[in-house]
Structure 1
Amino acid sequence: MNGSQPAPAQGFSSVHSAIETWFAANARDLPWRGGRSPWGVLVSEIMLQQTPVVRVQPVWEEWMRRWPTPGALAAEPSGEVVRAWGRLGYPRRALRLHAAAGAMVESFGGEVPGTYEALLTLPGVGSYTAAAVAAFAFGRRENVVDTNIRRVHARLVSGKALPSPSLTAAEMALSASLLPADPGESVLWNAGVMELGALVCTARTPKCGLCPVQDECAWIAAGQPEPDYIPKGQPWAGTDRQVRGAVMAVLRAAEQPVHLDLFLAPAADLAVEAEPGLDPAHRGPVRVQLERLHALNTDPGQLDRAIAGLLTDGLAQHSETGLHLPN
């Protein structure tokens, strides 16, 4: 179990203190911090997966106004949940969060469960999210390991520029060994190291002069050696993911099903009069998104593949009148 990991490495208390003090003075004022509801913490953790804070915050704030409890989200049609997800990317996360809300209503009295093990039973909640919510929402001693934490540990303790390309058992063991024994301090440590990685110990341009533990950093002591590998960025332009995103933008803009022919029509043929099946109040936004889709010059095979994938993932449905968000 995450909470029963070994005590921190001997002699690490000064590093704990330095990072926790730095965090108290430099932590960003994020709306899901500072005693927010466990539901708000869970929503933030799902949204923040592979998505920067600046894009998440306005969407999170709107979600919490609209759906302040798991029960409120569970009562909403899944299509509205996907629509509200907007352009956060990886919209399957919206469906999983919707399913998790339903599971909380059914099995946990409409509340977010408070233990790592119970959180793992929710749809779409993996080991990282379960540990993060248990720690940050419920104050439990959990081994929270995200990309930022891995990078700080790699430099501070292992003397490496970057962590391994994928999470290893050795990294989990190292993180566990550094975790303070006191639950309250462990929460501050997890949050502080994560924030240090996000703001100072960044991947490309670390601000070592601002680091509260630069004198203890093994990477600096080793002369800041280059990474063992070159990180590969995820391509976007021309990919099926880009086309899927463009199709989803059309569906989010539409209040009624969109004829499949409109996805294939050249932009020049998109006269308003030629947009059957669209509510007149929404023809403008839908037209804009269709034009953006067509500007990608996607071949029909890739478009068919993207639409088929959305249907398979439950992000879209097809009826006699066209393609639409799930009911």
Structure 2
Amino acid sequence: MSQTYQFHNIIGKSEKILEIFEIIEKVARTDSTILITGETGTGKELIARAIHKCSPRKDRPFVPINCAAIPEQLLESEFFGYEKGAFTGAMRSRMGRIEFSNQGTLFLDEISSMSLELQAKLLRVIQEQEFERIGGLKTIKVDFRLISATNQDLKEKIKEGTFREDLFYRLNVIPINVPPLRERKSDIPILVNHFLKELREHNKTSVRGFSDKAMERLMQYHWPGNVRELKNLVERLSVLKQQGIIELDDIPSSMGISVIPQMKPLVDINIKKGISFHTQVAEFERRLLLEALEQASWVKEKAAKLLKLKRTTLIEKMKRREIPLQMSR
């Protein structure tokens, strides 16, 4: 594979991905705080790691924390560490992730999952570059580069009262939005070849590639799970096939390629022979709802925002027009 298409394990040649490559090169040299947004499975952590590897801090630790994967009652001790005897079971002192990231990069994934109380404490660390371990009195100075990531709309979280506005502006100094795979489909063949090459190098399979029809099927799919879903599919099909070429018949029909049927233009009406006004209005509304849902990847909050509706109103209209509340797979 041409190195033009690969940048620190990020694969692609689409315009949007090449723009991200350029952003990474520009911001890596600085210590600016970065907020990476994008759907689940788009590779937000890969981008964070690429920034770290291109930065002057590359020889220091890259410390990731998935805020959604750690129970809330444990997250604070993961952040700040604790002193011996700080609570029941604290038999010895323990360094937290923030302290461990000193001189390096701290990566906070799924930051929208953090409680308001912990958000306030994180804000103080960002502002003061210091903290205390749980149960400790000593103030510890730290110097780290902060990169955060989320698959949520933090501005909506602010409106809901679940995310601090002052913290958002501290995190969002340099925003990087990672496009979903359906918006960069020209990268699919490159990604597939990359994943196949990795599998061959690890002796998991001898599959050489996908047939034209099989690849065409991949290009038609909506990819709700993004690059992660594509990688898992390539591995599954290759391990089952073991050698040769992946054919169209090898791809599971359960993928549900035609998630949304091709819709006619929103305005395509011939009234010369007479029409039912109410039927046409109902059909127009149904097609409008489907178009918004498709563009929003069936995230109802986003679709409602596109149509300038409340989420509850959107759901009511979906039920009235017999549109399923979840995208069929």
- TM-score by shorter chain over 0.5: no
Higher helix fraction (1 or 2): 1
Question: Shorter-normalised TM-score: what interval?
Answer: under 0.3
For normalisation by structure 2, the TM-score amounts to 0.27
For normalisation by structure 1, the TM-score amounts to 0.27
Higher strand fraction (1 or 2): 2
CA radius of gyration, larger in: 2
